[in-house]
A and B are shown apart, each in its own frame.
Chain A
Amino acid sequence: MFPEFDFDVIERSLPYLFREGMTFTVTLTVLAMSGGIVFGTLLAMMRLGPLRWLSAIAGGYVNLMRSVPLLLVIFWFFFLVPYIGQWILREPNPVKVGAFTSALVTFIMFEAAYYCEIMRAGIQSIPRGQVWSGYALGLNYWQTMGRIVLPQAFRNMLPVLLTQTIILFQDTSLVYVISATDFFGAAAKIANRDYRLVEMYTFAAVVYFVISYGLSTLVKSLQNKVAIIR
């Protein structure tokens, strides 16, 4: 087995794999994380807020996203985003979107549900006294949340948020099904073009392992530093 392992094909395709594939994966991860955390925090505030109908909508959305497979959500948005764009922008025709944009919308909308649950737990773990002090000082709900609760919640939940992001990084490989050229998609293309399945898929697995393991080790050491001693 090993004497026939063609390291050459890996070496030849490194530029393509990393310049096209890894760039796609990393960009998608970073943007989806940012958008997902923002939208997720908004959803968490809706769920914990005073308006019951808003809370119900947010809750329903989160439960829906958590009940269906990510692959199904990817297919949904791949075909629907142009129509959604048409509706929002009031265009006469469906809006043109590429695979990246559709994937980005998918991952923001999907991960927001998971980030929401994390932020919700984070917000709820802040002692109520903080909120009351905020109100006592004359701040309204949004100011209290924005200036007092969220910064603390965010800091407490940072390790869990980052772990979710590592999971997001791994999940981006699923864009294979919409033929997007992320890192895994690029490896699969080379594998099929040059008939080197073993080499390329093994290499892809190793790269994902090194990056994920490295990041999760960093998160663990961050966790030790950030732990607030009450």
Chain B
Amino acid sequence: MKRLSLLLAALLVSGMVAAQEGTLKKIKDSGSITIGHRDASIPFSYYDDKQQPVGYAMDLCLRIADAVKAELKMPKLEIKYQLVTSANRIPLMANGTIDLECGSTTNNLARQEQVWFTITHFVTANRWVAKKSAKIHSLQDLKGKTIVSTAGTTNIKQITEINGQQNLGMNIISANGHPEAFQMVETGRAVAFVMDDILLYSLAAQSRSPKDYEISKDALSVEPYGIMLRKDDKPFKQVVDAAMTKIYKSGQIKAIYAKWFQKPIPPKGLNLNIPMSDSFKKVVANPTDSGDPAAYK
């Protein structure tokens, strides 16, 4: 009798284990989940003054991790952090180093051939920042000038393509990270830094003299941000999507958003004071993980 019940139990357990493949299995087996984060994508994912990764996307990911823990019925789930850059986040997702990438990664159709995204957590646009004294009012004003963007971003790819298509003759520098790129504008090496407007806004606000900079009115594209996860991993995506949808439908998203965009944030207590955009409000009402910019108009 004892043997029979042991056998039944073993079958049950193996059945449950067999149902979890891919990332869920990896998390269950290792007891930990690895979250990829950024060092300076304020306010999404960055280091505070104690060198701890914090941010809007980080808070969302911690809630996703809780949902995974509940789903896998684990008593404890260790959260490991792995610093990533724009340039290496996709390869590190593909090769298994990280399970979730929580930052400011644009969800688009081209990237969906390498990785998957969950529900969009922010909608931004690709703009540029320049010194007011440079008097750059349109893309044509950048003709023949030196501009900078960050390596591995959709922004640098897009501005490179536009440069070729419209024959603007711009010199495009590829910087290793956002602060470095912004410094090139600050020190005068580049005339403009092309990046998502929310990141530009926070960098300018934190700089030594924020009044010197202005962000362009023209937008080069619409960029929906999504938390990345591994491609072709349906079970994991279901858990993550469900967690995100719950956060949106329950209204928790309002508090999390306000914490990072409308209140003082570390390390210097800066208050970005950016209310939820109409495009994002639409996403909250109807959660989507689309990589098509047209879905966000």
Give the interface of A toward B (CB within 8 A).
16, 20, 78-80, 82-83, 86, 93-99, 177-179, 181, 189, 192-193, 195, 197
The distance in angstroms between the C-alpha atoms of A121 and B267, with both chains bound, is 55
List B contacts of A82 (CB < 8 A): 95-97
- Selecting from B83-91, B139-147, B285-293, the interface stretch reads B83-91
Judging by beta carbons under 8 Å apart, are B97 and A189 in contact? no
- Selecting from B7-15, B66-74, B179-187, B213-221, the interface stretch reads B179-187
**What does DSSP make chain A's interface, helix, strand, loop or mixed?**
helix
Give B195-242 interface residues, CB cut-off 8 Å to A: 207-208
List B contacts of A195 (CB < 8 A): 183, 186, 207-208
> What are 8 A-to-B residue pairs whose CB atoms are below 8 Å?
A79-B91, A82-B95, A86-B96, A97-B97, A98-B82, A179-B88, A192-B177, A195-B208
Q: How many A-B residue pairs have CB under 8 A?
A: 48
Give the interface of B toward A (CB within 8 A).
22, 26, 30, 34, 39-40, 51, 82-85, 88, 91, 95-98, 176-177, 179-180, 183, 186, 207-208
Nearest Cβ distance between residue A97 and chain B, in whole angstroms?
A: 6
List A contacts of B83 (CB < 8 A): 99, 179, 181
The distance in angstroms between the C-alpha atoms of A80 and B95, with both chains bound, is 8
Nearest Cβ distance between residue B175 and chain A, in whole angstroms?
A: 10
Judging by beta carbons under 8 Å apart, are A78 and B88 in contact? yes
**Of the candidates B40, B88, B96, B186, which one forms a contact with A94 in the assembled complex, judged by CB atoms under 8 Å apart?**
B96
Judging by beta carbons under 8 Å apart, are B183 and A93 in contact? no
Judging by beta carbons under 8 Å apart, are A95 and B85 in contact? no
**Of the candidates B26, B40, B84, which one forms a contact with A193 in the assembled complex, judged by CB atoms under 8 Å apart?**
B40
Judging by beta carbons under 8 Å apart, are B91 and A179 in contact? no
The distance in angstroms between the C-alpha atoms of A93 and B95, with both chains bound, is 8
Nearest Cβ distance between residue B155 and chain A, in whole angstroms?
A: 18
Judging by beta carbons under 8 Å apart, are A179 and B40 in contact? no
**Of the candidates A79, A93, A98, which one forms a contact with B22 in the assembled complex, judged by CB atoms under 8 Å apart?**
A93
The distance in angstroms between the C-alpha atoms of A86 and B84, with both chains bound, is 21
The distance in angstroms between the C-alpha atoms of A79 and B93, with both chains bound, is 10
Judging by beta carbons under 8 Å apart, are A192 and B183 in contact? yes
Judging by beta carbons under 8 Å apart, are B177 and A93 in contact? no
Nearest Cβ distance between residue A152 and chain B, in whole angstroms?
A: 44
List B contacts of A99 (CB < 8 A): 83
Judging by beta carbons under 8 Å apart, are B95 and A94 in contact? yes
The distance in angstroms between the C-alpha atoms of A96 and B92, with both chains bound, is 9
Nearest Cβ distance between residue A121 and chain B, in whole angstroms?
A: 38
Judging by beta carbons under 8 Å apart, are A98 and B186 in contact? no
The distance in angstroms between the C-alpha atoms of A197 and B186, with both chains bound, is 12
Q: List 6 A-B pairs, minimum CB-CB distance, nearest first.
A: A94-B96, A192-B179, A82-B95, A94-B95, A179-B85, A93-B96
